[in-house]
Amino acid sequence: MAQCKWCGKSGIFLILNKSGLCSICSSQIIAEFEQKHRLFLESNSIVEKSKNPSIIASRTEFMISILDSLTKYENAGIEIYNIPLKKLILDCVNDSNLKLLNMLHQTFYTSKEKIDNLKSTNAKVSAANKIFEELNLFSQYFNSRGQNFSICKLRLDEIRNEFNSLTQNTSNFCENAKTVNPLKKQFEIKHTVNEAVEIIKNRRSEIEKQKDLLYRKELELVDEGKFNALNKVSEKIQGLDFADVYQKAHLLEKSEKIDTAANLYWKNIFVNGSDLPANFTRLLILLNKLNLPSEELKVAEIYLHFINESSKEEIEKRIVRIKKKLEK
């Protein structure tokens, strides 16, 4: 006996169309589909043309919600498009993320050039603040349903780090741009342990490569007798030096600027990819003093990925202690 796939009505005289629907359901579903499909195409063409990341993200979200609203039919065995909706959704999200990733690169590299060309410190500071805000917005734009989501996020973090070292290395204007520093006065690690470990590993190899290039440059400049340029390169190398940053943080700690010191220790790990054990242990002590057990736990768990066998047990014990504290 014929039975409509959607309303479930059945009967000997019920006529179904090719999709297995009765005539009432068929015309209702077709009307709904046509209307939604039109909205979908409209948004799609906006996404294709737009240069505005916020519009691309919100339109993609809207397109996905349209497709989501049609899955109930597909679940009942009614074919909507000739490719499964799941696949269509994935394609939309992946495309959108990819487009946004390209925009992120463009935004960052053009702004970076602009900053380099600006003369006044004030102008540099306000330009830097603006890029920083824009970079932060991208974390909301990327769609977590995309297969490329984690890559997008990783790249965003790398660019944020590049931005941080740009504001610290190319000039001293970061001193005046307090709001550029995302960590400010408090201490917060916004990543999961695994994410942070991945980022630190990438940073570490990146910094090693940079140093290697700079060392070679130094040698060339010595050979050529270009001592002014040599000083600049040596300064750059020093800026990448873990021990140097560690010393600065240690001085801050001694002058009781504990939260600033903690942030600098963390920066040494997260941005410079430092593997100095003292840097990790000082940070853990400060986070304990600041009474931030969940951040302390994260740092300890991150440290476990980089630690020597000999110190492993001590940190594992510390982790147990922090967890007990957190349970209270």
Instruction: Name the residues that contact Zn ion, by CB under 5 A.
Output: 4, 6-7, 22, 25
Task: Closer to Zn ion by CB, 7 or 30: give it.
Answer: 7
We find the least distance from the C-beta atom of residue 14 to Zn ion, in angstroms, to be: 8
Supply the minimum distance, in Å, between the C-beta of residue 10 and Zn ion: 10
Q: Given the complex with Zn ion, which of 22 and 299 has the nearer CB atom?
A: 22
| Least Å from the CB of residue 13 to Zn ion | 14
User: In whole angstroms, how close is the CB of 5 to Zn ion at the nearest point?
Assistant: 7
Structure tokens at 254: 């001694």
Whose tokens are 């750059």? That residue is: 236
The count of C-alpha atoms lying within 13 angstroms of the C-alpha of 193, restricted to the half-sphere facing its C-beta, is: 13
CA dihedral over 66, 67, 72, 74, signed as positive or negative: positive
In the complex with Zn ion, which residue's Cβ is closer, 7 or 222? 7
Nearer to Zn ion, 7 or 219 (CB): 7
Of the two residues 14 and 278, which places its CB atom closer to Zn ion in the complex?
A: 14
Where are the alpha helices (H) located in the chain, listed in sequence order?
Answer: 23-49, 53-75, 85-117, 121-141, 149-169, 193-224, 227-239, 242-254, 258-270, 277-289, 293-303, 309-327
**Which residues, in sequence order, are CB contacts of 67 under 8 Å at separation 6+?**
40, 85, 88, 89, 92
Backbone angles phi, psi at 2, to 5 degrees: -70, 135
Q: How far is the CB of 22 from Zn ion (least distance, A)?
A: 3
Could you tell me the smallest distance in angstroms from the CB atom of residue 40 to Zn ion?
24
**Nearest distance from C-beta of residue 69 to Zn ion, angstroms:** 19
Nearer to Zn ion, 29 or 200 (CB): 29
Question: Cα separation of 286 and 279, whole Å?
Answer: 11
Q: Which one, of 143, 155, 134, 135, lies nearest residue 59 by Cα?
A: 143
Q: Is the four-CA dihedral 106, 136, 52, 158 of positive or negative sign?
A: positive
Nearer to Zn ion, 25 or 104 (CB): 25
- Which residue number, 2 or 41, has a Cβ lying nearer to Zn ion? 2
CB of 108 to Zn ion, least distance (A): 54
DSSP assignment string, 97-157: HHHHHHHHHHHHHHHHHHHHH--SHHHHHHHHHHHHHHHHHHHHHS-TTSTTHHHHHHHHH
